[in-house]
Chain A
Amino acid sequence: MDTPKDQTKSQKPKARWAPALFLCLLCTTAFTLGAILQQRVYSWTGSGGGDLMQVLLGNGRRVLADQFFTTADIYFHSGAYPSIFDRQYPSTNSARLARGVQETPEQEDAEHDREIALLNRPIDWIERFGRNFQITKETHLSGGKEREILPWLKLSADLDPKRVDTYTVASYWLRVHLGKPKEAEEFLREGLLANPDSYEILLELGRLYFENYHDLARARNLWEAAYRRWNKREAGKPRPDLRALDQITVRLAWLEEEEGHYAQAIKWLKVALAKKASPNPEGLEARLKELQAKLKEAEAPSPAPKA
C-alpha cells in the first residue's frame, strides 16, 4: 500500500499538467467558437471586415474626411477661417476650396465678404482683444505654396475614398498650380477605382488630358464616358446635377469645334440646351448660332476658281 507521501508523488505530475491542459482546452474552445462566429457576424453586419481605418473609425471616418477637407480649405486661406459660430451663411460640403476652382473671382469675393461679415464686428472687449491673437487677414496660398493643402486632401481621400470632391480638387491644384499632371492623373485614377461611376472624376481626367497633355482623342473618350455616367446616375433624378452636365457638354462642344467637327459640337450644345443645363442659355444659344454659321460655311461648296 502506498504511503500518503508516495501518493502525493504519483499524483504530482498529473496535478502539474492539469491546469495547463485545461487552459489549452479553453483556448481551443474559444478559437473554435471565434472561427464559427466570425462568419455569422459577417452575415449579420453584411461586411467582411474592411481596412484598418474602417475597422477603427467606422462611419466616423467620413466625418474626419470632411474635417480634413475643410482643413485643406483653411490652409488655402492661410488660417483665416470663420468658425461655424461666425458664419452667417453656412458653407456647403465642398467648401470654398472647390469654389476657388470653379467660380469666377467676383463670385468668390462676394461669398467671402458674406462669410467673414461677422468677423468684422466684435461684440465686446473680450472678442476685440482676442482678435489680436487670431489670424484675421485672409491671404490665399500662391507661388507653389498651394502644396500645403495636399496632405489634408490625401488624408481625406484615404479616410473616405467615396468622397469625389477630394480627387477633383486635389487634381486641379496639382496640375494647374503645381505642374504635376502625372501625380494628378494617378490620384484621379485612384479615385476612379473607388468610384467607377463618377462622372466628376472622368470630367476632371478629361480636362487633364485636354489641358495638360493636349490629347484630344482621350479627352473626348473620357468626357463622353462622363456623359454616359451622368445619364446613368443623374438623368432620372428630380434635381439632377446640371452644372456638371453643362461642363461636360460645353467642353465636348469646345473640343469638337477645335477639331473642326462642327456638327458634333452643335449636337453637344443642343444636348446642353435641351436639358437646360447652362445657367446662361442665351450665351449658349449665341454660341450655337455661331457654330451653325461655321458649319454652313464649311459645308458650302468652295467658290469656283476664276477663269
Chain B
Amino acid sequence: MNRIRASISTIWAVSGIVIKELYRRKDFYVLFVVTAVITLMMASVNFFHEGKIVRYLKDICLLLIWISALVIAIATTARQLPAERESRTIFPLLAKPVTRGQVVVGKFLGCWLACGIALVVFYVFFGVICLAKQDHIGFWQYFQAIWLQWGMLAIVIGMVLLGSVVFSAPSANATICFVAVVSILILGSHLHKIAITEPEPLSVLLSSLYFLIPHLEWFYAVRDRLVFDQNLIPWVDCLLATLYAAAYVAIFLCGTWMLFRRRVLTT
C-alpha cells in the first residue's frame, strides 16, 4: 500500500512539472488569443443584418478549439522525453527513487491534465460566445463534448509519447503524429469502404489498419452534435467510448514503457 502511495506521489510530482510547463510557456496563450481573435472577428461580421446567426460561430470556434487542443497536446507531449534527455534532467530524476515507468505515466498524466485545463479555458470562452448569441446552452451537451474531446486527447498523447521514444527528433514525431491524427479523423471511418474497392494485398492492409487504428473520429463527431444542437449521446455509449480510449492509452503507454526501459541513457 505504501509503495502504491509512493508511486502515485512520484507520478503526481512528475505530472506537476508538465502542467507548470504549460502555463509558463507561450504556446497556450498564443493559441488561445488566436482562437479568441478569430472567433470575435467572425462574430463581428454582419451577414445580411441577421443578428441571431450562431451556428457558424460555434462551428468555427470549436474547429479552432480542436486544432489548438491538438497542437497543444502533440507539441507538449512530443518534447517531454526528448527534452529530459537533451537537457540531461533525466539523470538527476532517475537517480532518485523513480522508475522509468513512473516517468512515462507521470509525463502522460501531466500532458493530459494540462490539456484538460486548456480545454476548460477554451470551452468557457466558447460558452460565453454562445450565451452572447443564444438564450441557453445545454450543460450536459457541453460536458459530453469536453469529456469526449479530452478522452480523444488522451489517445493522442499516448500515441505521441510512444512516438517520442521511437523517433529521435521531437519535430519529426510531432509532424508524423499530427498527420496520423488528421488522417484518422478524416479517413478513419472509411478505410474499410476504400479497402473494398482496392485489389489484394492493399485491401487486406487497409482492412487491418481499419481495425487497428484508434477511431478518433467518433470523438470528433461530438463537435457536430454541439454545433447542430443535437440530443445527448446515450451515457452508456459515452462510457464505452471512455473505456475504448483508456484501452488505447494503456496500449500506447505499455509500448512506451517497454521501449523506454531498454533505452540506454548515456551521460
Contacts and interface: CB of A to CB of B under 8 A. Distances in A.
B189 A127 contact: yes
A83 B190 contact: yes
Interface in A169-203: 174, 178, 180, 183, 187
B25 interface: no
Contacts of A75: 55-56, 228
Interface string B184-198: 000001101110000
Nearest to A123: B192
A130 B190 CA distance: 11
Interface string B58-69: 000000000000
B150 interface: no
Q: Interface residues of B: mostly helix, strand, loop or mixed?
A: helix
Q: Counting chain B CB atoms within 10 Å of each CB, which of A75, A124, A134, A135 scores highest? A: A134
Interface stretch (A8-16, A102-110, A143-151, A204-212): A143-151
Interface stretch (B85-93, B100-108, B163-171, B212-220): B212-220
A18 B49 CA distance: 60
Contacts of A264: none
A94 interface: no
Nearest to B54: A148
Interface residues of B, number: 34
B37 interface: no
Contacts of B52: 144, 147
Contact of A133 (B45, B228, B237): B237
Contacts of B259: none
Nearest to A127: B189
Given A133-B222, A147-B50, A148-B56, A79 B45 contact: no
B48 A183 contact: yes
Given A124-B192, A133-B233, A180 B211 contact: no
Given A79-B224, A148-B54, A135 B45 contact: no
A180 B48 contact: yes
A132 B144 CA distance: 13
Given A129-B237, A133-B233, A151-B56, A174 B48 contact: yes
A152 interface: yes
A183 B47 CA distance: 10
A133 B189 CA distance: 12
Contacts of A134: 221, 224
A75 B55 CA distance: 8
Q: Counting chain B CB atoms within 10 Å of each CB, which of A129, A130, A133, A180 scores highest? A: A133
A79 B54 CA distance: 14
Contacts of A127: 189, 192
B149 to A, nearest CB: 12
Contacts of B210: 126
Nearest to A182: B49
A281 B193 CA distance: 43
A22 interface: no
Nearest to B211: A126
A127 to B, nearest CB: 7
Contact of B48 (A83, A130, A154): A154
A83 B192 CA distance: 14
Interface in B12-69: 45, 47-50, 52-56
A130 B224 contact: no
A147 B55 CA distance: 10
A17 interface: no
Given A132-B237, A133-B225, A135-B230, A180 B218 contact: no
Contacts of B45: 151
B196 to A, nearest CB: 9
B234 interface: yes
A187 B48 contact: yes
Contacts of B49: 180, 183
Contacts of A292: none
Interface in A83-116: 83, 85-86
Given A75-B228, A79-B227, A174-B48, 17 more contacts: A78-B230, A79-B225, A79-B228, A83-B190, A85-B194, A126-B210, A130-B221, A133-B241, A135-B228, A144-B52, A148-B55, A150-B50, A154-B47, A178-B48, A180-B50, A183-B48, A183-B49
Interface of B: 45, 47-50, 52-56, 148, 189-190, 192-194, 210-211, 215, 217-219, 221-222, 224-225, 227-228, 230, 233-234, 237, 240-241
20 contacts: A75-B55, A75-B228, A79-B224, A83-B190, A126-B192, A127-B189, A129-B237, A130-B218, A133-B219, A133-B225, A134-B224, A135-B224, A135-B230, A147-B52, A148-B54, A150-B48, A151-B45, A151-B47, A151-B53, A154-B48
